[in-house]
Amino acid sequence: MEIFVDKIMDITHKKKLKTLFPESVELDIPLSTLSQWKVGGNAELVVRPKNKFELIELRKWLYEHNVPSVVIGNTTNLLFSDEGLKVVCIKIDNTFSNIAISDNMLTVTPGVWVPELARTAMKAGLSGIEHICGIPGTVGGLVVMNGGSQRKGIGSVVTRVETINTAGALKTYNNEECGFSYRSSIFQQNNELITEVQLILDDSKSKEAIRQEMLAILLSRRGKFPRKQPNCGSVFVSNPDMYSRYGTPGKVIENCGLKGMTQGDAQVSDLHANFIINKGNAKAIDIIYLINKVREVVYNHTGYKMVVEAKFVSPNGEIRNI
């Protein structure tokens, strides 16, 4: 893969950011310790803002000084480059995590852990997001990806999203403006940072019924997906047309005889062929090699070119389709 590093931070930017946000900035973090796939070179500067005001200040400063940045959540849908990250990495996680409930409306900050949101809703007797209970990301990443399971997406219950644009200004979006479609939203294109999400849920089910549904979902996921080796969830998005003719991506990949195929320490999982696992020291290029190989073989067998759900993060912070 060709890599361009056109705009990067310099040492004065790093020093200034460390002075401005002393408790939130860390330098030279190996992405293999940060990322779910456990791959990637070093991130030169990671900042974990604790609240909206710190984020506004940070984004304004970056804008005024023309310093590029990238936003990440729990990295469960990201493949970092072996060359690392040369721009400011804004990591949104449990330091920016709060859920407020008013009747059947939840107002949630983006660093909330998705299973925690599902559990909180269940305890409040609110249903509609049981399907997200096993997704190991943050709410911000979930909304950007319109994530969900059982062919559902979080977008169907989102009523309002607040963001900060690259210049540091707050904006709000109603559901229609979010452009939700299968595993996609407008936030994959507009470079804005989600600061708050509002959901309206259904209060007509009993807590016990919601709990039982979540338990059934967790149980069925437990046996199907590899849990011990680092991975990024399903690699390829299910295509309804391909599904009706050949089955799920996992089934198709398996039927093409690709289960267990390895490149370096990356492997098409033996347990579920739509997962690529890191057996130890896999590199991003090993994973990309397997993705390309699987896509090519499936295309030759079926005529369908599968779309990759995970995104590649280049050293200059660009988030690209693989």
Ligand X SMILES: Cc1cc2nc3c(=O)[nH]c(=O)nc-3n(C[C@H](O)[C@H](O)[C@H](O)COP(=O)(O)OP(=O)(O)OC[C@H]3O[C@@H](n4cnc5c(N)ncnc54)[C@H](O)[C@@H]3O)c2cc1C
Residue 97 near ligand X by CB under 6 A = no
The closest of 77, 92, 89 to 8, measured between CA atoms, is: 89
Output the six-digit token pair for 89.
């990495």
Taken in order 146, 273, 266, 308, is the CA torsion positive or negative? negative
Catalytic pick among 35, 69, 234, 314: 234
Long-range contacts of 57-61 (CB under 8 A, 24+ apart): 57/20, 57/168, 58/20, 58/21, 58/90, 59/164, 59/165, 59/166, 59/167, 59/168, 59/193, 60/167, 60/168, 61/17, 61/20
Please tell me the distance from the alpha carbon of residue 244 to that of residue 238, in angstroms, as a whole number.
10
**142 vs 210, beta carbon nearer ligand X:** 142
**204 vs 220, beta carbon nearer ligand X:** 220
Chain mean position to CA 278: 18
Kindly state the smallest distance separating residue 197's Cβ from ligand X, in Å: 9
Provide the Cα torsion 141, 38, 150, 199; round to 10°. -20
- Figure out which of the listed residues 36, 238, 274, 278 binds ligand X, where binding follows CB under 6 A: 36
Residue 77 near ligand X by CB under 6 A = yes
Active site residue 244: no
**74 vs 267, beta carbon nearer ligand X:** 74
**105 vs 271, beta carbon nearer ligand X:** 271
| Subset of 228-257 contacting ligand X (CB under 6 A) | 231-233
Active site residue 156: no
Active site residue 59: no
Within 8 A by CB and 6+ apart from 296, the residues are none
**184 vs 292, beta carbon nearer ligand X:** 184
Residue 159 near ligand X by CB under 6 A = no
* Window of 71-79, 120-128, 196-204, 243-251 that interacts with ligand X by CB under 6 A: 71-79
State the burial class of residue 235 (Cβ atoms within 10 Å of its Cβ: 0-12, 13-18, 19+).
buried
Catalytic pick among 183, 185, 254, 295: 183
| Subset of 279-318 contacting ligand X (CB under 6 A) | 311
Do residues 284 and 304 lie in contact, with contact meaning Cβ atoms separated by under 8 Å? no
* Window of 43-51, 133-141, 201-209, 250-258 that interacts with ligand X by CB under 6 A: 133-141
Tell me which residues touch ligand X (CB under 6 A): 36, 71-78, 92, 110, 135-138, 140-142, 144-145, 147-149, 187, 193-194, 225, 231-233, 311, 319
Annotated catalytic residues are 183, 234, 309
